[in-house]
């Protein structure tokens, strides 16, 4: 019974004390802890022979290839370091197309000829691993009889230690490729895209007199998540198997009082956050921010930005740590983008920028952006990139889960547009007419209380409704979903930007070759870009119906769901783009398209099956029991010689609902047995037939819930899950 979960949850909350879940560390130690489980630069310098250290740094900072001798030296130092920390095993950690991470642990032990064993780890084992690739999705890139796949050490992301109560494992971040060298993972294309964008950005920088030889994409992802008591979690088959609730009536109190956002963090949750942060510090994830989010029981964690490839690894680790630590506090962490209908879903705000090797942020406007030509060129390139590749960007965040979010009135719409803010919009408007002469300043903010300091006012307000917003010195891709790996959206962003910068560089190079004045050429180019791509700029309310109409007029894509968005992976242009920059070839693109379609189809199928199961084995038995009780009560009143109008009416209404519910559940079961041919056809069938049948079944189920006595209801309710904490 659902109410059993409630009493267990209440007991667990009452019993919960700071002692039970106390982290093995204290806040004062946090700085000391940071990176203590990472084979970071400091360890590398101390432990590696000088030539090996220099060679490794050259690989990390300049992308130079690494030789086997260096790998051997690194392997030995790594093993010694890991062993000193108690590690007995190592693993090649990779990010297959499943969207989660994979690891297979191997012992350092190698047999000796005397029948004993010694700890051994060589460069060969560091550089290359060979997991059986046949059990990971490959989208037809590899038939099962050619199961070979390799994991290849990614030296740009530092190894760390995975500490468990009974074991310590050395984790080596890797890329995962097939025997033919095709990318079977999300990391490889990301790394390739970083090289591509670096190369094109350097061309542009050179025109402005920079000596930078490398540019890095930087990323700081803000992760939203829900925490609920674990007892509720285990009492909900839908949460366990689908990550989201498939039934559940809206509670009387939702988020309408707006009393959640930045609200006081509950004691147990704060304790959980602190321990999760300690764990992340240890493995070098620079967590910075924590707060309550908009929905009840929703929270956020955000790190300081890093190079995008490291940020992606750290983001995966963050999701894993959140999930791992929550049970210690009697909590379950939900990373699904829409665990609860009717309350806000979760996203991942992907803050993104470019930085040169000296650490200069290329999207930092300075105080007077109107005369910061280099900044304006990079900023205009972003507009071009997002406008030109809006379809691919949309596809990079498409999933069955994100379909519940995008376009609902709480999350960015499915239409991609860029928020620039007043200041930049004004400058670009000036540029459209020829030249930018001034920058609007924010001035200061007088609060009207003399003891309070005067605050400098930002030149523009924020816009929470935009899917892609300029936030002062970076762009924030806000439509990314909470549960997904951020590798894909960052890869696409880098690719799109490489394309835009390539065209910018080419044009400026040609102009200066003809000894045209650079400033004039830039000015001309900016005017051209803004004329061509201003349709992508939208500073208004993205949730409004007018925007949808306006966007259509502007010719922007509105790919409302995954099934509409996924084909963008295989348009001729998209394939050409990623192939041109050697990020993904046509086969790799088609493979991804296939995997994402399959993933959509499987997800909807699992959810549909789960609904049928919950309908028949949870909700119906409870409903029939209540129906019987009302019937008995009507009969008892009648036997007493009178007649209860209201009870009879209730019986009528309730019986009708139950009949409808059972018929719809059976209907859904039948729908799930069929399907349409190709994966594309099947996906359309799932979206058009199954998803809508699920929505209808849910509606009736939720109507039954609000009429059924609490003690009979077999599932924890929204009110309990979201507010009992």
Residue 304 interface partner, choices ligand ADP, Mg ion, none, CB cut-off 5-8 Å depending on type = ligand ADP
> Among positive and negative, which fits the CA dihedral 55, 59, 63, 65?
positive
Nearer to ligand ADP, 303 or 407 (CB): 303
SS3 content of the chain, % helix, strand, coil (to 5): 50, 15, 35
Shortest distance in whole angstroms from residue 314 CB to ligand ADP: 11
Closest by CA position to 188, among listed 149, 140, 161, 143 = 149
Nearest distance, CB of residue 361 and ligand ADP, angstroms: 5
Q: In this complex, which beta carbon is closest to ligand ADP, that of residue 348 or of residue 534?
A: 348
Q: Which is nearer to ligand ADP, 36 or 361 (CB)?
A: 361
- Shortest gap between Cβ of 629 and ligand ADP (angstroms)? 53
Size of the site for Mg ion (CB under 5 A): 1
Which one, 342 or 472, has the nearer CB to Mg ion? 472
Which of Mg ion, ligand ADP, none has residue 161 at its interface (CB below 5 to 8 Å by kind)?
A: none
Minimum separation from the CB atom of position 709 to ligand ADP (A): 46
- The number of helix segments (H) and strand segments (E) in the chain equals 25, 18
**Cβ proximity to ligand ADP, 305 vs 329, nearer residue:** 305
Q: Which residues contact 420 (CB under 8 A, 6 or more apart)?
A: 428, 470, 537, 539
**Residue that is written with structure tokens 């000193």 in the block:** 84
Among the listed residues 134, 361, 571, 609, the single contact to ligand ADP using CB under 6 A: 361
# binding residues, ligand ADP (CB under 6 A): 15
Beta-carbon contacts of 132 under 8 Å, excluding residues fewer than 6 positions away, are 147, 149
For the CB of residue 217, give the shortest distance to Mg ion in the complex, in Å. 18
Query: With CB cut-offs between 5 and 8 Å by kind, which of Mg ion, ligand ADP, none does residue 474 bind?
Result: ligand ADP
Rounded least distance, CB 361 to Mg ion, Å: 16
**Which residue, 125 or 222, is less far from ligand ADP as judged by CB?**
222
Quote the least distance from Cβ 587 to Mg ion, whole Å.
37
Q: Are 558 and 415 in contact (CB under 8 A)?
A: yes
Selected from 139, 220, 407, 608, the binder of ligand ADP by CB under 6 A is 220
Rounded Cα–Cα distance for residues 665 and 619 (Å): 11
Structure tokens at 506: 């080419």
Q: Which residue's CB atom is positioned nearest to ligand ADP? A: 220
CB of 304 to ligand ADP, least distance (A): 5
Contacting range for ligand ADP; rule: CB under 6 A; set: 351-359, 500-508, 552-560, 672-680: 351-359
Least Å distance between CB 349 and ligand ADP? Answer: 7
In the set 157, 210, 218, 255, which binds ligand ADP (CB under 6 A)?
218
Of the pair 219, 280, the CB lying nearest ligand ADP is at 219
Measured from the CB atom, the residue of 281 and 352 that comes closer to ligand ADP is 352
How many CB atoms are closer than 10 A to CB 663? Answer: 12
Closest CA to 538 of 413, 440, 437, 432: 413
- What SS3 state is found at 646? helix
Task: Report the distance separating Cα 555 and Cα 551, nearest Å.
Answer: 6
d(CA 652, CA 619): 18
Q: Which does 361 bind (CB under 5 to 8 A by kind): Mg ion, ligand ADP, none?
A: ligand ADP
C-beta of residue 197 within 8 angstroms of C-beta of residue 217: yes
Give dist(CA 181, CA 616) in Å, integer: 48
**Residue 490 beta carbon to ligand ADP: minimum distance, rounded to whole angstroms:** 10
**337 contacts 225 by C-beta, under 8 angstroms:** no
Distance CA 504, CA 508 (A): 6
Based on CB atoms, which residue is closest to Mg ion, 476 or 588?
Answer: 476
Closest CB 354 distance from ligand ADP, rounded Å: 8
For the chain, first and last CA: distance in Å?
19
As measured in angstroms, the least distance from the Cβ of 444 to Mg ion is 24
- Cα–Cα distance for residue pair 230/5, rounded to 1 Å: 9
Taking contact as CB under 6 A, which single stretch among the options 57-65, 86-94, 349-357, 711-719 is the one that binds ligand ADP? 349-357
Identify the DSSP state of 450. Answer: T
Cα separation, 175 vs 77, in Å, equals 21
Residues 269-328 that bind ligand ADP (CB under 6 A): 302-305
Using CB distances below 5 to 8 A depending on partner kind, what does residue 243 bind out of Mg ion, ligand ADP, none? none
For residue 351, what are the contacts with CB-CB under 8 A and spacing of at least 6?
A: 219, 220, 221, 222, 305, 471, 474, 475, 476, 477
Indicate whether 219 belongs to the interface with ligand ADP (CB under 6 A).
Answer: yes
- Distance between CA atoms of 694 and 690, rounded to whole angstroms? 6
Q: Minimum distance between the CB of residue 720 and Mg ion, rounded to whole angstroms?
A: 31
Q: Are 79 and 43 within 8 A, CB to CB?
A: no
The pattern of x and - marking residues 25 through 64 that bind ligand ADP according to CB under 6 A reads ----------------------------------------
As measured in angstroms, the least distance from the Cβ of 456 to ligand ADP is 15
Q: CA torsion angle for 257, 262, 268, 269 (degrees, to 10)? A: 110
Q: Name the nearest CA neighbour of 336 among 467, 231, 492, 227.
A: 227
Residue 176 has φ and ψ, to the nearest 5°, of -125, 115
Residues 437 to 496: which contact ligand ADP by CB under 6 A? 471, 473-474
Residue 391 or 467: which CB sits closer to ligand ADP?
467
Q: Which is nearer to ligand ADP, 350 or 396 (CB)?
A: 350
CB closer to ligand ADP, 126 vs 397:
397
Give whichever of 475 and 626 is closer to Mg ion, judged by the CB atom.
475
Least distance CB 222 / Mg ion (angstroms)? 5
Whichever of 219 and 522 has its CB closer to ligand ADP, that residue is: 219
Please give the backbone phi and psi of residue 18, each rounded to the nearest 5 degrees, phi first: -55, -30
Are 366 and 375 in contact, with CB atoms under 8 Å apart?
yes
Distances (CA, A) of 167 to 43, 76, 521: 22, 20, 61
Identify the three-state secondary structure at position 65. coil
Q: What is the DSSP string of 383-412?
A: HHHHHHTHHHHHHTT--TTGGGTTTSTTS-
Which partner, ligand ADP, Mg ion, none, binds residue 352 by CB below 5 to 8 Å per kind? Answer: ligand ADP
Instruction: For residues 295 and 5, give the distance between their C-alpha atoms in angstroms, rounded to a whole number.
Output: 22
Q: Under a CB-based contact definition with an 8 Å cutoff, are residues 414 and 560 in contact?
A: yes
Work out what residue 219 binds among ligand ADP, Mg ion, none; the CB cut-off runs from 5 to 8 Å by kind. Answer: ligand ADP
* Closest CB to Mg ion among residues 336, 349: 349
- Taking CB under 5 A as the criterion, which residues in 309-368 touch Mg ion? 349
Return the one option of Mg ion, ligand ADP, none that residue 220 interacts with (CB less than 5 to 8 A, by type): ligand ADP
- The site for ligand ADP (CB under 6 A) is made up of 218-220, 222, 302-305, 351-353, 361, 471, 473-474
| Contacting residues toward Mg ion, per CB under 5 A | 349
């Amino acid at each position: 019974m659902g109410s059993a979960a409630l009493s267990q949850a209440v007991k667990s909350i009452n019993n919960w004390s700071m002692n039970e879940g106390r982290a093995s560390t204290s806040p004062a130690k946090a700085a000391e802890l940071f990176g203590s489980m990472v084979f970071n630069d400091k360890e590398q310098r101390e432990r590696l022979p000088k030539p090996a250290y220099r060679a490794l740094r050259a690989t990390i900072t300049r992308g130079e290839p690494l030789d086997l001798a260096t790998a051997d030296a690194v392997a030995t130092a790594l093993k010694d370091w890991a062993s000193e920390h108690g590690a007995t095993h190592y693993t090649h950690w990779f990010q297959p197309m499943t969207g989660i991470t994979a690891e297979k642990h191997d012992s350092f032990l190698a047999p000796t000829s005397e029948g004993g064993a010694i700890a051994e780890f060589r460069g060969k084992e560091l550089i290359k691993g060979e997991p059986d690739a046949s059990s990971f999705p490959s989208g037809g890139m590899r038939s099962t009889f050619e199961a070979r796949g390799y994991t290849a050490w990614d030296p740009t992301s530092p190894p760390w230690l995975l500490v468990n109560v009974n074991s310590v494992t050395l984790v080596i971040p890797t890329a995962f490729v097939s025997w033919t060298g095709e990318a079977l993972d999300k990391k490889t294309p990301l790394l390739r895209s970083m090289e591509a964008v670096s190369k094109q950005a350097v061309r542009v920088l050179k025109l402005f007199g920079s000596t930078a030889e490398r540019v890095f994409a930087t990323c700081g992802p803000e992760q939203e998540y829900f925490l609920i008591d674990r007892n509720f979690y285990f009492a909900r088959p839908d949460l366990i198997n689908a990550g989201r609730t498939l039934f559940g009536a809206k509670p009387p109190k939702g988020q309408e009082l707006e009393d959640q956002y930045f609200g006081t963090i509950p004691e147990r949750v704060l304790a959980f956050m602190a321990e999760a942060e300690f764990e992340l510090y240890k493995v070098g994830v620079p967590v910075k921010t924590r707060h309550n989010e908009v929905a009840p029981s929703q929270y956020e964690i955000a790190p300081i930005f890093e190079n995008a490839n490291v940020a992606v690894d750290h983001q995966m680790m963050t999701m894993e740590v959140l999930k791992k630590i929550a049970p210690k506090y009697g909590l379950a962490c939900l990373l699904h983008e829409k665990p609860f209908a009717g309350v806000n879903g979760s996203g991942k705000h992907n803050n993104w920028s470019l930085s040169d090797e000296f650490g200069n942020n290329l999207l930092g406007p300075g105080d007077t952006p109107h005369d910061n030509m280099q900044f304006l060129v990079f900023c205009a390139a972003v507009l071009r990139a997002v406008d030109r590749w809006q379809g691919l960007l949309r596809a990079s965040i498409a999933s069955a889960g994100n379909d519940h979010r995008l376009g609902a009135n709480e999350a960015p719409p499915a239409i991609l547009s860029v928020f620039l803010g007043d200041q930049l919009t004004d400058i670009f408007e000036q540029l459209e007419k020829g030249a930018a002469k001034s920058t609007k300043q924010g001035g200061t903010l007088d609060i009207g209380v003399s003891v309070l300091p005067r605050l400098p006012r930002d030149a523009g307000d924020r816009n929470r409704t935009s899917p892609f917003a300029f936030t002062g010195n970076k762009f924030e891709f806000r439509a990314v979903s909470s549960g997904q790996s951020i590798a894909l959206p960052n890869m696409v962003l880098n690719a799109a930007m490489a394309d835009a910068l390539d065209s910018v560089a080419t044009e400026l190079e040609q102009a200066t070759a003809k000894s045209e004045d650079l400033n004039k050429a830039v000015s001309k180019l900016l005017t051209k870009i803004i004329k061509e791509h201003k349709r992508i700029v939208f500073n208004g309310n993205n949730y409004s119906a007018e925007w949808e109409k306006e966007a259509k007029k502007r010719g922007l894509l509105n790919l409302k769901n995954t099934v509409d968005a996924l084909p963008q992976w295989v348009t001729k242009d998209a394939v050409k783009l990623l192939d041109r920059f050697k990020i993904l070839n046509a086969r790799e693109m088609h493979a991804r398209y296939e995997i994402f379609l399959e993933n959509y189809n499987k997800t909807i199928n699992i959810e549909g099956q789960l609904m049928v199961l919950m309908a028949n084995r949870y909700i119906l038995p409870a409903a029939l029991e209540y129906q019987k009780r009302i019937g008995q009560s009507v009969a008892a009143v009648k036997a007493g010689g009178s007649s209860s109008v209201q009870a009879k009416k209730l019986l009528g209404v309730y019986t009708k609902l139950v009949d409808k519910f059972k018929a719809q559940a059976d209907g859904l079961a039948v729908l799930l047995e069929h399907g349409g041919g190709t994966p594309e056809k099947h996906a359309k069938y799932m979206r058009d037939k199954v998803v809508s049948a699920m929505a209808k079944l849910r509606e009736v189920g939720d109507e039954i819930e609000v009429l059924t006595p609490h003690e009979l209801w077999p599932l924890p309710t929204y009110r309990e899950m979201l507010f009992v904490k």
